[in-house]
Amino acid sequence: MARICRFDDDRLGIVEGEEVIDVTEALAVLPAVRWPLPPGDLLVAHLSEVLAAAQPLAATGRRLDRRSVRLLSPVANPGKIIGAPVNYLKHQAEAIADGGVNFERDVKTIAHYGLFLKAGSSLVGESEPIELAFPERRTDHEVELVAVIGRGGRDIPAHAALGHVAGYAIGLDMTVRGPEDRSLRKSLDTFSVLGPWLVTPDEIGDPGALAMRLEVNGAVRQQASTAELIFDVPRLIEYASAFYTLHPGDLIYTGTPEGVGAVAAGDRIDCAIDRIGTLSVTVA
Ligand code: MN
pLDDT in tens, the chain (284 residues): 799 999 999 999 999 999 999 999 999 999 999 999 999 999 999 999 999 999 999 999 999 999 999 999 999 999 999 999 999 988 888 888 876 555 555 789 999 999 999 999 999 999 999 999 999 999 999 999 999 999 999 999 999 999 999 999 999 999 999 999 999 999 999 999 999 999 999 999 999 999 999 999 999 999 999 999 999 999 999 999 999 999 999 999 999 999 999 999 999 999 999 999 999 999 99
Q: How far is the CA of 143 from the centre of ligand 1 (A)?
A: 7
| Cβ 12 vs Cβ 23: under 8 Å | yes
Closest CA to 207 of 224, 191, 227: 227
Residue 109 DSSP SS3: coil
Consecutive H or E run containing 12: strand 11-16
pTM to 2 decimals? 0.97
Ligand 1 centroid vs 155 CA: distance in angstroms? 23
Give distance in angstroms: CA of 47 to centre of ligand 1. 27
What's the 116 CA to ligand 1 centre distance in angstroms? Answer: 10
Q: By three-state DSSP, how is residue 208 classified?
A: coil
C-alpha 282/C-alpha 277 separation (Å) is 17
- What residues sit around ligand 1, an ion, with C-beta below 5 angstroms? 142, 173, 256
How big is the CA angle at 62 (ends 59 and 67), to the nearest 5 degrees?
Answer: 115
How far is C-alpha 196 from the chain's CA centre?
9
Q: How many residues does the chain have?
A: 284
Query: Which candidate, 190, 193, 218, places its Cα nearest to that of 134?
Result: 190
